[in-house]
Amino acid sequence: MSGVAIIGGGPTGLNAAIYTARADKRTLVFDDGGGTTRDVDTMENVYGFPEGVTGPELVDLGREHARKYGAEIVEEEVVRIEPEGERYRVETTVDEYVVDGVVIATGADYERPAIADVEAYEGHGVSYCVECDAYFYRDSPVAVVGNDNYAATEALMLLDYTDDVRILTNGSSFEAGEELKERVDDAGIPVITDDLDRLTGEEVLEAVVTKAGDEIPVDGLFVALGTAGGTDLAEMLGVPVDGDDIVTDPDQSTPVDRVYAAGDVTGGHQQIATSVGEGARAAINLLEELRGADYIDYKKLDSQPA
């Protein structure tokens, strides 16, 4: 039986695994236990969960679904992938595996700001996703930590939910492009360049404290420092990357035969909904490539008169 390696056990990888396992491919999902989804307390914008769902619950349900069709969850960290003839050798910290195709769905680990206690307030006032969590801070004081185009864009997006928005650069100069700077200025968003020391609040975030001892009252702090994507494995295979993102075609393929990438590791909106869709697209197109000349896509056939 030909095999497929799915690198990453989050929603993207698990959805890809459902498709490849249902196609009767031996499917190995490599999950080292990381990923940002597991850190999310509640998501209220996931289709089919009107009451919300926690990150761990969503991952557990995805695992159960993939296993139903025979996918194997390999709880090992992948450290190397290299070609072996027409196949690929996947090396983990424990063992080695040979497969016919690869989907890289490692996600992205968000960069934390250099502020004391930030981890303690994640999910209790600190967020890494405006699109996910701004709804919870309607008409509340919020701030964005960051100093570039990303921070400016997130701050402007927050104006759809609240008028009380500011940007905290944490000691750095504000380096957004001139057009974005002008939009931030026109919107009346203050940019505070003071060094930040710590966060305060009982149970939930109440303020950011500068190193000078000043308190900036906020209910929500949105981190906009970029992500650290899992591009090392892609580079081992000669797959192009752009910063922290793996570069793919619209069908999630890469220039390397039978190597696909999907989800947060490819950039984009970094939403569960878009990521699981990309996982499905990567799996479908990898399956088509694995079928090769024996596979005929009827949609691509020229119409013949009856």
Q: What is the dihedral of CA 244, 53, 12, 287, to 10 degrees?
A: -170
| DSSP letter, residue 132 | H
| DSSP letter, residue 116 | B
Q: Which tens digit of pLDDT belongs to each residue from 125-147?
A: 999 888 778 999 999 999 999 99
Q: What is the pLDDT of residue 77?
A: 86
Cα distances from 49 to residues 54, 110, 134, 280, in angstroms, run 10, 25, 19, 20
pTM check: above 0.75: no
Q: What is the pLDDT of residue 293?
A: 42
Cα separation, 267 vs 269, in Å, equals 7
Contact (Cβ atoms closer than 8 angstroms) between residue 115 and residue 209? no
Cα separation, 231 vs 107, in Å, equals 10
Q: What is the pLDDT of residue 295?
A: 47
Closest CA to 281 of 268, 263, 299: 263
| DSSP letter, residue 181 | H
Q: Which tens digit of pLDDT belongs to each residue from 261-282?
A: 999 889 877 788 899 999 999 9
Q: What is the pLDDT of residue 256?
A: 95
List every span in the chain annotated with CATH 3.50.50.60.
Answer: 1-107+227-289, 116-221
The helix or strand, by DSSP H or E, that contains position 130, with its residue range, turns out to be: helix 130-133
Architecture of domain 116-221: 3-Layer(bba) Sandwich (3.50)
Largest CA distance in the chain: 82
Token pair of 304, please?
Answer: 């013949």
Sole residue written with tokens 């990357």: 241
Cα separation, 162 vs 134, in Å, equals 9
Closest CA to 183 of 159, 162, 161: 159
Token pair of 225, please?
Answer: 């420092």
Sole residue written with tokens 């909106």: 269
- What superfamily does domain 1-107+227-289 belong to in CATH? FAD/NAD(P)-binding domain (3.50.50.60)
In what order do the strands lie in the sheet containing 87-92? 78-84, 87-92, 96-99
How many residues in the chain? 306
Mean pLDDT by 10 residues, the chain (306 residues): 87 96 96 74 85 89 96 91 92 91 88 89 89 90 93 92 97 91 96 96 95 96 75 88 89 96 87 93 96 58 53
Amino acid at 37: T
